[in-house]
């Protein structure tokens, strides 16, 4: 909760009595301040106070760290809000010429290879993703690509595109809400018309939190 400074009076005044609750509140806030925003954690503090800040180590191998601030007044159940930091990233290929291709013709979502990110904390996440796509000669179908939440895709979060004989770049972003901790995010795709072929290359995705808890 927000801290409201008191106008203290010298003893023997009783206008601002010292209480256990007041002292415990003050101590918890001083402890959080002493730790400071540079505290690096691998799990969120169990008893946070309003305004407390931490650096959450999302991926130690790649140096991905998230600056989070606790806002007790948030209406969300995820009260640690993202202040700054880099995204978790995954991509399938080093470049177009060397990239592997996924081919499919199903009208139901199919997993794409080479892209996978695990959301380490429960919360809402901003997700950027993209790829290059083409469809078969003479076809008019579209390639539909979206983040897969534990393998399941949704048109509401998707990017659409495709042109016969040409490669088209698809790039989009979406907010994925209410993810459980350790949810695996992938890319999935489908054809807009069953039986009409699609090819996808150079798949990539990046994920950063909006708020977690």
d(CA 34, CA 29): 9
CATH annotation of 88-207: 2.60.120.40
pLDDT at 120: 98
Could you report the per-residue pLDDT of 73-114, keeping only the tens digit for each?
999 999 999 999 999 999 997 666 656 899 999 999 999 999
Q: What is the pLDDT of residue 160?
A: 95
> Higher model confidence: residue 99 or residue 161?
161
Distance CA 80, CA 76 (A): 10
Out of 29-33, 47-51, 121-125, give the one with best mean pLDDT: 121-125
SS3 per residue for the chain: CCCCCCCCCCCCCCCCCCCHHHHHHHHHHHHHHHHCCCCEECCCCCCCCCCCEEEEEEECCCCEEEEEEECCCCCCCCCEEEEEECCEEEECCCCCCCCCEEEECCCCCEEEEEEEEEECCCEEEEEEEEEEEEECCCCCCCEEEEEEECCECCHHHCEEECEECECEEEEEEEEEEEECCCEEEEEEEEECCCCCCEEEEEEEEEEEEEEEC
198-212 vs 88-91, strand pairing mode: antiparallel
pLDDT in tens, 129-148: 999 999 999 999 999 999 99
Which of 20, 21, 56, 50 shows the shortest CA–CA distance to 33? 50
Q: Is 162 left (phi over 0), alpha (psi -120 to 50) or beta?
A: left
Task: Give the whole-angstrom CA distance, residue 79 versus residue 47.
Answer: 12
What pairing do the DSSP bridges indicate for beta strands 168-179 and 183-191?
Answer: unpaired
Distances (CA, A) of 113 to 51, 101, 184: 41, 8, 14
The ranges assigned to domains in the chain are: 20-85, 88-207
CA 3 – CA 29 distance, rounded (Å)? 9
pLDDT tens for 32-73 read 555 554 689 999 999 999 999 999 999 999 999 999 999 999
Structure tokens at 70: 């606790």
> Cα-flanking dihedrals φ and ψ of residue 25, to 5°?
-65, -45
Distance, CA of 30 to CA of 36 (rounded, Å)? 10
């Amino acid at each position: 909760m927000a801290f409201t400074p008191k106008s203290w009076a010298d003893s023997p005044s009783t206008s601002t009595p010292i209480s256990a609750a007041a002292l415990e509140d003050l101590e918890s806030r001083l402890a959080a301040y002493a730790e400071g925003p540079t505290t690096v954690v691998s799990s969120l503090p169990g008893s946070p106070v309003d305004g407390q800040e931490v650096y959450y180590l999302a991926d130690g191998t790649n140096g991905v760290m998230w600056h989070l601030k606790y806002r007790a007044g948030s209406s969300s159940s995820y009260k640690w809000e993202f202040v700054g930091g880099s995204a978790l990233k995954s991509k399938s290929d080093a470049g177009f010429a060397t990239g592997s291709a996924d081919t499919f013709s199903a009208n139901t979502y199919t997993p794409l290879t080479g892209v996978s990110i695990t959301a380490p904390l429960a919360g809402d996440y901003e997700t950027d993703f993209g790829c290059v796509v083409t469809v078969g000669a003479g076809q008019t179908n579209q390639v539909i690509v979206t983040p897969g939440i534990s393998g399941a895709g949704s048109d509401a979060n998707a990017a659409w595109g495709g042109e016969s004989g040409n490669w088209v770049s698809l790039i989009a972003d979406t907010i994925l809400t209410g993810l459980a901790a350790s949810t695996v995010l992938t890319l999935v795709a489908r054809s807009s018309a069953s039986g009409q072929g699609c090819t996808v290359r150079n798949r990539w995705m990046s994920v950063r939190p909006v708020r977690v808890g």
